[in-house]
Amino acid sequence: MCLFCAAPQAVAVPPDISALENDIAAAAREIGATEKELSSLKRQQAKLKKQAVPKNKKNASAPDTGALSENIADYTRNLAVLQQQLDAAFLALSDAPARQSISTENSALLGDPDLVVAAAREEWLAHAVAQNALAAIRAESGNLDETRQKRQQLEKTHRKQAHAAEEHRQRLNNLAHQITVTQKLLSEQRQALATQREKLAQEKQQLAAQKAVRKPMAKPVTVAAAPQNALLKPVALTAPAVQQVAPGRFPVNGKVVMKFGDKDALGVKSSGIVLEAAEGENIVLPQEGVIKFAGAFGKFKQLLIVEHKGGYHSLISGLDQVETKIGERLPAGAVIGHLAQAQAYYELRHNGVPVDPDKVSMPF
């Protein structure tokens, strides 16, 4: 809503308050929708936290893995011992023919049959040891393979659990991020709504001021002409002469302490500039124009709205009192008041849009 877009007449046209109220209602609905979305996200977050994998779930399976690893180590050691026994048996079997040949020759020479029997018994025992060792090795190998499969299956289960837990944490992190973004959006919407409400209050105050200006004048009262007194001479009542000085780019000859577009303490960009000068400094009109509003207006205290050529309007505040009236056309450089405090606010708009007065070609 343009604060001072007015038709070229003595009193500014009242702002479209209904449109601003519609904007406020729409902003309130958006805030309601955002609040619902934020509540939904928080409920999802709480539900996911309840479904979270307990911290000790993975640790509960850890002893199983450890036990399986110990069993595998035992089976491996047993296999090594059995392999040694098997190797010894095979070695004994490989040496048996030679010993049998020697024993046979010796028995033939010495005529001792006990040596032949002893050699045969030794070979039979070697065969028995080898058979037992092979059977034990097969059994231990089977146990080892089965245990390894169990451990692989358990490790696979652990990996699945870890993956599920990671996905769960990722969903929680994503929800937390969405909640943060939604809370920021809600804060911005609430701030915008507060700004619109403040603007609506200012518009209503301006409308009330304009209605007061447009009150119908009392009908003239006809009175009998008094006898003319020769001692009383008619005096022509004329408006005081307008004081005029050399105009500048800004209404106050001072230091710019806030530029167009700078952010204030609340982070809101300024639509105008703030000038700092000595109290009582002249406030002059930068360009020729017609006074469209003059008087107290909300936080602006004494406010002056001037319509210029080419679709430009000026808003000037910080005056101690307005030294002009609505509808008066003043030249550039006309003194319209004096600085009430140490700062003045100057806003320039073109076709209702704030522009940087420092970048506008003069005169306009």
For domain 14-204, give the CATH number. 1.10.287.620
Structure-derived torsion over alpha carbons of residues 203, 205, 207, 213, reported in degrees to the nearest 10: -150
Contacts of 281 (CB under 8 A, 6+ apart): 252, 253, 254, 338, 339
Contacts of 346 (CB under 8 A, 6+ apart): 250, 251, 252, 272, 273, 274, 275, 314, 315, 316, 357
pLDDT tens, N- to C-terminus, the chain (364 residues): 344 444 334 334 344 677 878 888 888 888 988 888 888 988 888 888 887 655 544 444 455 777 778 888 887 887 788 777 777 766 665 655 555 554 455 544 445 666 666 666 777 777 777 788 788 888 878 888 888 888 888 888 888 888 888 888 888 888 888 899 899 889 988 988 998 888 888 888 777 766 654 444 434 333 333 344 333 333 332 334 456 666 778 999 899 999 999 988 788 898 999 999 988 899 999 999 999 988 876 665 688 899 999 999 999 988 888 888 899 999 998 999 888 888 889 999 999 999 999 888 877 7
- Kindly list the distances between the CA atom of residue 278 and the CA atoms of 69, 125, 282, 311, 335, in Å, as whole numbers in the listed order: 87, 122, 9, 32, 16
What are residue 316's phi and psi, to 5 degrees? Answer: -130, 130
What percentage of the chain exceeds 70 in pLDDT?
Answer: 71
pTM of this structure = 0.36
Quick: pLDDT tens for 44-60.
Answer: 888 888 876 555 444 44
Q: How far apart are CA 329 and CA 267, in angstroms?
A: 37
What are residue 278's phi and psi, to 5 degrees? Answer: -75, 145
Q: Tell me the HSE value of 157 on the side-chain side, using a 13 A CA sphere.
A: 14
Q: Which CATH class is domain 255-359?
A: mainly beta
Rg of the chain on CA atoms, in Å: 51
12, 18, 1, 17: which is closest to 210 by C-alpha? 12
Domain boundaries, the chain: 14-204, 255-359
Q: Is 56 helix (H, G, I), strand (E, B) or coil?
A: helix
pLDDT at res. 98: 52
Match 């893995």 to its residue by tokens. Answer: 65
pLDDT at res. 306: 93
Quick: pLDDT tens for 248-273.
Answer: 789 998 999 999 999 887 888 989 99
